[in-house]
Amino acid sequence: VGPGAASGNQGRAIRQWVRIDPAHPADELMVEVRSTTEDWRRALWGQDLLPWGEPGTAQRWPRGPLPKSGEWVALIVPVGAMRLDGHLIDSNGFASYGGNVAWGRTEFLEDGKVQVIMDGDLPKGANWGGGVSWTDQPAQDGKRSHGMGLQTAECEHRLGNGGIQIDLRAKTPAPAAPAERLQKDVEAAKLIPETEEALQLLREAEGQFGGQPEDQRLEHIIAMYADFLKSDPANQQAAHVLTTVRFLVEGWNDNRKVPPKRGAALARCEALMDEVKLGREPRRQFYAELAAPLAEWKVVGLFDAPKGAQPLQEALPPERGAVDLDARYPTLRGVEVAWRDARADANALNVTARLRDHEHRRGAVAFAYTRIEAPASAEAALYLGVRGQALVWINGKRVGALLTAEGTLQRDAFVLPCKLLKGANEILIKLSGGEGGAPLVTARIADLNGKPLEGLSVRLPPSLVGASAGNPTAVTVDFSGPLDPAGAEDPASYTVDHGVTVVKAALTGKERRSVALTLSPLAPDTEYTLTVINVKNAAGTPLRSGARTRFHLLASGVGSGLKAEFFSGHELKELLTARTDETVDFEWGDGEQPDPAVPASNWSARWSGQVMPLFTDTWTFTTLSDDGARLWIDGKLVVDAWRDQAPTESTGTIALEAGKRYDLKLEYYQGGASAAMKLMWQCARQDREIIPKAQLFTGAAPAETPVEKPKHHKEGK
């Protein structure tokens, strides 16, 4: 019982070999499987960061910690556990979060026999969805591996539908094994309660109740799992057993909505936990798979630690007294920072990603803040996962000691008991990154057993995001969340300087977070200040009265985009076709042509024209390219990334004046497989965005520039 990963005796399963780069470890691995009749099934190892599918189900099933890095290891996906019996598997996928992961041989195991599905090359007739390359660094048993190179966040590649064929339609075990043998499986599972094989044995043992009325069958299965838990209530598989019971009671049918029987299923699981006297830790693990982390935050930073001070030990302005979300703070780098809206992405909040000064610097400090409304006072706990270091305040008081965790972000790694007050409760977290990079945090509020508390809601005040003038009599005002129409649609809530009159205000869009203002004509080449009062979000929390933002009406008409020229080869000499592109925001899959006149590989492009900034400021231009790119603004080389590379961001800065047109030239070459080219900008008064059509103008192309040979350094790219 409990065969080794390399033996081929795991029952009917998909075995996927993988190697994690020890110098760049991933936070999560995921193996995906699709059938012709069902949605994607997913098994994951490590931190649950990839957001696809419903957690705790076969759409997103946790299989344990990350395997050891630096060597080839096998990931096992049991067919029965993933509810794949009776289906035709026709595609599989490979996903990870961060790091550098090499995927090796894919196999199907049955009755001790090993069928190789993919090894060193694509199956005949199969194709990738794009973005992946083969390499012999590293190789597995002399065969190439596949992957997407070094990543900082989520990445995924899949075989096209029909890429593989594993036919399980006629292989559902029949006739059922004798009940006596299946009962022995239950007893065997009790001997190895800490292992994944124990769960597989129990799922197979469900077959002894086949042929019974559904209600009776369900009760017998739950009783079997209860008996297993009673044999060892502290075993590490208890949370997964409870999730299986929840799954059975819900009658989950692979959709992405909350099952209608979720409440009844949770009540049954809670009764089962009490019946077997389950300990606190497995209860917490069970609820962690269901509970959503806090998603809405305000963040501010980065602050550099004073010379000689340990990270987080020096008191900084945001932690001194009550939190003031309207405050602005000077930093040692001479930058003034303010609170900004942020939202947890894929179950974790990357605090620095939402900050304009987002470059990770060892020892730099950022703050995250949220406000929770509670219907009554309660004994509770803050469940935290941290990468880096953190200090926590709840309602103005320090809670717990310095929290430190490097490497993989582990959800609920720290539990800080606290007293929730009726009404508003404030959470302030001070964070600093470590060797692993920028700080990450995930947080949730629950009772001491991990069960989510009912009636809690996030009550952060809304923010005024910005305003933009579509034409001389129309301005769109954007807020951070849905608004109460009472104040949002009142023209008296908005004031514009320079004698401009607001005539009408109307909410727009499904999310009701934008307001269209009709006003008296604006003058060109003038900067305006908009002031907002008496506006509340949909929950009734007011915006700071007197919140202000600036906007600008361009002197010129609306832009039309850039001239785009496509060439054969990488030297930008043999012109194939030309057109006008409204923006530069492209991704092309493997084998996809950017234009019917351009081949799918070995081509280059040049976009040229003029760009007009809205504000006088130092602008940061960002290219995201796969492969080489370089950008000139006003004749200055701002970005130089002329090399083979996976999708990579490169940046450069230049000071520009509002309303003035500057020559722009962007050159790109495609080096093989998939391709991408995006052009973005930002400044202190403009969040990063794809440069819009309105600010781009066609014009005479800048003079030819000497062509440098691409720096090829990656096989297949």
Q: In CATH, what number is assigned to the domain containing residue 350? A: 2.60.120
Q: How confident is the model at residue 430 (pLDDT cuts 50, 70, 90)?
A: very high
Q: Is 45 helix (H, G, I), strand (E, B) or coil?
A: strand
The residue among 114, 138, 167 that closes a domain is 167
Q: Which residues of 554-704 form beta strands (DSSP E)?
A: 562-568, 574-581, 585-588, 603-611, 617-626, 629-633, 636-641, 648-656, 662-670, 675-683, 686-690, 696-697
Please check whether residue 6 lies inside any domain of the structure: no
570 and 503, same structural domain?
no
Q: Is the per-residue pLDDT at 284 higher than 60?
A: yes
Summarize the confidence of residues 547-554 as an average pLDDT.
80
Domain boundary among 142, 167, 192: 167
- Assess whether 343 and 422 both reside in one domain: yes
Mark whether 127 and 244 lie in a shared domain.
Answer: no
Give the pLDDT confidence score for residue 358 in this predicted structure. Answer: 47
Residue 358 lies in a domain: yes
Q: What is the pLDDT of residues 69-120, one digit of tens each?
A: 999 999 988 887 677 777 888 889 999 988 899 999 999 998 778 999 999 9
Does one domain contain both 310 and 218?
Answer: no
Q: Is the pLDDT of residue 161 over 70?
A: no
Between these two residues, 385 and 56, which has the higher pLDDT value? 385
Mean pLDDT of 669-690: 84
- The residue whose two tokens read 């040692």 is 332
Q: What is the 3-state secondary structure (H, E, C) of 158-203?
A: EECCCCCCEECCCCCCCCCCCHHHHHHHHHHHHHCCCCHHHHHHHH
Summarize the confidence of residues 123-151 as an average pLDDT: 84
Query: What is the mean predicted confidence (pLDDT) over 669-691?
Result: 85
Q: What is the dihedral of CA 173, 178, 179, 184, to 10 degrees?
A: -90
Question: What mean pLDDT comes out for the span 173-179?
Answer: 53
E strand map for 326-413: 328-330, 336-338, 340-343, 349-350, 365-374, 378-394, 397-405
Query: Would you say residue 713 lies in a domain?
Result: no
Are residues 432 and 320 both part of a single domain? yes
Q: Are residues 34 and 158 in the same domain?
A: yes
Least confident of 378-392, 455-469, 542-556, 669-683: 542-556
Mean pLDDT of 269-283: 92
Backbone angles phi, psi at 125, to 5 degrees: 85, -5
Alpha-carbon gap, residue 285 to 415, rounded angstroms: 12
Task: Name, in order, each residue with C-beta under 8 angstroms of 510's C-beta and a sequence gap of 6 or more.
Answer: none
Task: Identify whether residues 140 and 241 lie together within a single domain.
Answer: no
Of 54-63, 232-241, 361-370, 392-401, least confident by mean pLDDT is: 54-63
> For residue 188, is it within any domain?
yes
pLDDT at 504 over 90: yes
Kind and range of the H or E element at 137? strand 133-140
Assess if residue 271 is contained within a domain.
yes
Is the pLDDT confidence value at 152 over 70?
A: yes
Kindly tell me if the per-residue pLDDT of 503 is higher than 90. Answer: yes
DSSP string spanning 642-676?
-B--SSEEEEEEEEE-TT--EEEEEEEEE-SSSEE
Instruction: List the single range of 70-84, 495-509, 543-557 with lowest mean pLDDT.
Output: 543-557
Is residue 252 pLDDT above 70, yes or no?
A: no
Per mean pLDDT, which of 156-165, 418-427, 507-516 is the most reliable?
Answer: 418-427
Same domain, 161 and 23: yes
User: For position 306, what pLDDT does the model report?
Assistant: 58
Residues written for the chain:
717
Residue 393: predicted pLDDT: 97
pLDDT at 516 > cutoff 90 = yes
Q: Are 641 and 650 in contact (CB under 8 A)?
A: yes
Name the pLDDT band for 702 (thresholds 50, 70, 90): very low
Q: Are residues 573 and 669 in the same domain?
A: yes
Q: 531 and 605 in one domain?
A: no
State the residue range of the domain holding 541. Answer: 464-553
Whole-angstrom Cα distance, residue 634 to residue 73? 53
Burial 312-346 (b: 16+ CB within 10 A, else e): beeebbbbeeebebeeebebeeeeebebbbbebbb
User: What per-residue confidence (pLDDT) applies to 486?
Assistant: 95
Q: How confident is the model at residue 546 (pLDDT cuts 50, 70, 90)?
A: confident
Query: Does residue 198 surpass a pLDDT of 90?
Result: no
- Top-confidence residue, 716 or 528: 528
The percent of residues in the chain predicted with pLDDT above 90, rounded, is: 37
CATH number of the domain enclosing 642: 3.90.182.10
- Determine contact, residues 583/650, Cβ cutoff 8 Å: no
**19 and 154 housed in the same domain:** yes
* Whole-number pLDDT of residue 629: 94
Domain end, chosen from 167, 202, 228, is at 167
Lowest mean pLDDT segment, chosen from 207-211, 278-282, 442-446, 626-630: 207-211
Is residue 172 domain-resident? no
Q: What is the pLDDT of residue 361?
A: 58
**What local confidence, expressed as pLDDT, does residue 345 receive?**
65
In a domain, 717, yes or no: no
Q: What domain count does the chain have?
A: 5
- What are the residue ranges of helices labelled H in 289-432? none
Residue 376 domain-assigned?
A: yes
Sign of CA dihedral 206, 210, 216, 218: positive
Cα–Cα distance for residue pair 250/244, rounded to 1 Å:
10
Q: Which of 200-214, 282-296, 386-400 has the lowest mean pLDDT?
A: 200-214
Whether residue 533 sits in one domain with residue 446:
no
Task: Write down the pLDDT at residue 311.
Answer: 66
